């Protein structure tokens, strides 16, 4: 805490005291000069001094002189502070006109210096807020554009095939069922896209709350592996589980983690068919649990890795319109893991692709 006599208050007290001392010293000097002038009959100063003495009296003259010089010294000594205050005022005015690049120099270690620093900090914060707002608007526009594009593609196909059916433009019942099946699959894809978009919006705006309870990761991942057994068999793949312990208990939201690992396993099956297997390994690292989901398919280009968890991002070379999703799955997974105070990362090489999830055994606080 600043000393009450330090800073601008101390400077004001010192300024008035110094001005008073200097004015008194000046009066003494003038008094000596007046005596010298009168004794030596120096004109015209002697006549003026005698006139003033006879008119208003010497004490009044010296008092008025002291006041005048006191004011002069106050003005002179406070000139730098007043100039700095004017500079700060101009800076605030420019800031009010939107010039957020302006930085007021901090010239003193007092309240005026603190004021300048606070104004600079406010300017930087406003500049940062405006930049974030612009990014938010840009992100919203990109979201609308991407959603419109992604929803339009299956809708166009659905309308096309349903129009064929409506116009009876099919040869027989087999072709009719073929058209209906395609429209059905497009409808399912559209439904998944809408669900992903809804989930991502809820996560992005903080509308998701964790329902925490003790979760056995070994049991959860084993259950997921069993659920994907049919899909693995159809893809001529197998899943291998490697757990450090029979039970790995963490505090988490089981439904949210199920969604995350469903996405990772589904992607591993979809893009790792060439490797013929998916591996899931669980290990411990101090107070964290590490889950690796590994596939041995085509590697993800290194340039694509930093953007993989961004919304609507797709590695187009490995995702076609038929196999690709909304581009929201990994973004949702990342948000879910971060809600659990964990992290998710990806690495890929010619040998394998690894999605690594780290989760705390127990959350530091409930989100």
**pLDDT attached to residue 121:** 86
**pLDDT attached to residue 321:** 44
- 331: alpha, beta or left? (left if phi > 0; alpha if psi -120 to 50): alpha
Note whether 95 and 127 are within 8 A (CB): no
Closest CA to 295 of 283, 310, 308, 278: 278
Q: Cα separation of 357 and 343, whole Å? A: 6
**pLDDT attached to residue 244:** 85
pLDDT in tens, the chain (367 residues): 455 445 677 777 888 888 888 888 887 787 777 666 656 655 565 566 565 556 556 677 677 878 888 888 888 888 888 888 888 888 888 887 777 777 888 877 777 778 888 888 888 888 888 888 887 777 677 767 767 766 777 788 888 888 888 888 888 888 888 889 888 888 887 887 787 777 777 776 666 788 888 989 999 999 888 888 888 888 888 988 988 888 889 988 888 898 889 889 988 888 888 888 899 999 988 888 999 999 998 888 888 888 788 765 555 544 444 444 556 778 888 888 988 899 999 998 888 999 999 999 876 655 4
Written as six digits, the tokens of 153 are 């593609």
**pLDDT attached to residue 41:** 57
Tell me the CB-side half-sphere exposure of residue 180, using CA atoms within 13 A.
8
**pLDDT attached to residue 47:** 64
């Amino acid at each position: 805490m600043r000393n009450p006599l330090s800073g601008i208050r101390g400077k004001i007290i010192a300024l008035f005291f110094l001005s008073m001392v200097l004015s008194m010293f000046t009066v003494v000097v003038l008094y000596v000069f007046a005596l010298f002038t009168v004794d030596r009959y120096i004109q015209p100063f002697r006549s003026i001094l005698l006139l003033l003495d006879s008119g208003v009296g010497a004490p009044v003259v010296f008092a008025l002189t002291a006041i005048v010089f006191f004011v002069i010294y106050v003005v002179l000594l406070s000139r730098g502070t007043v100039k700095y205050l004017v500079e700060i005022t101009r800076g605030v005015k420019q800031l009010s006109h939107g010039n957020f690049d302006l930085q007021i120099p901090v010239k003193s270690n007092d309240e005026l210096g603190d004021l300048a620093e606070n104004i600079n900090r406010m300017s930087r914060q406003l500049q940062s807020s405006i930049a974030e707002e612009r990014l938010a608007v840009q992100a919203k526009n990109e979201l609308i554009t991407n959603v419109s594009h992604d929803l339009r593609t299956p809708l166009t196909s659905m309308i096309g095939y349903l129009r064929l059916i409506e116009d009876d433009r099919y040869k027989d019942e087999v072709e009719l069922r073929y058209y209906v099946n395609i429209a059905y699959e497009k409808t399912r894809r559209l439904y998944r896209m809408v669900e992903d978009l809804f989930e991502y919006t809820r996560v992005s705006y903080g509308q998701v709350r964790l329902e925490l309870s003790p979760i056995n990761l070994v049991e959860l991942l084993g259950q997921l592996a069993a659920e994907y057994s049919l899909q693995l068999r159809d893809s001529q793949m197998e899943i291998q589980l490697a757990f450090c312990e029979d039970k790995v208990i963490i505090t988490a939201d089981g439904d949210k983690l199920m969604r995350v690992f469903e996405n990772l396993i589904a992607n591993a099956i979809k893009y790792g068919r060439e490797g013929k297997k998916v591996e899931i390994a669980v290990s411990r690292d101090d107070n964290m649990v590490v889950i690796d989901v590994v596939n041995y398919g085509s590697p993800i280009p290194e340039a694509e890795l930093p953007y993989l968890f961004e919304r609507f991002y797709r590695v187009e070379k490995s995702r076609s319109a038929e196999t690709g999703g909304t581009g929201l799955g990994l973004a949702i997974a990342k948000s879910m893991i971060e809600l659990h105070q964990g992290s998710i990362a990806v690495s890929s090489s010619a040998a394998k692709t690894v999605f690594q999830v780290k989760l705390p055994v127990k959350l530091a606080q409930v989100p």
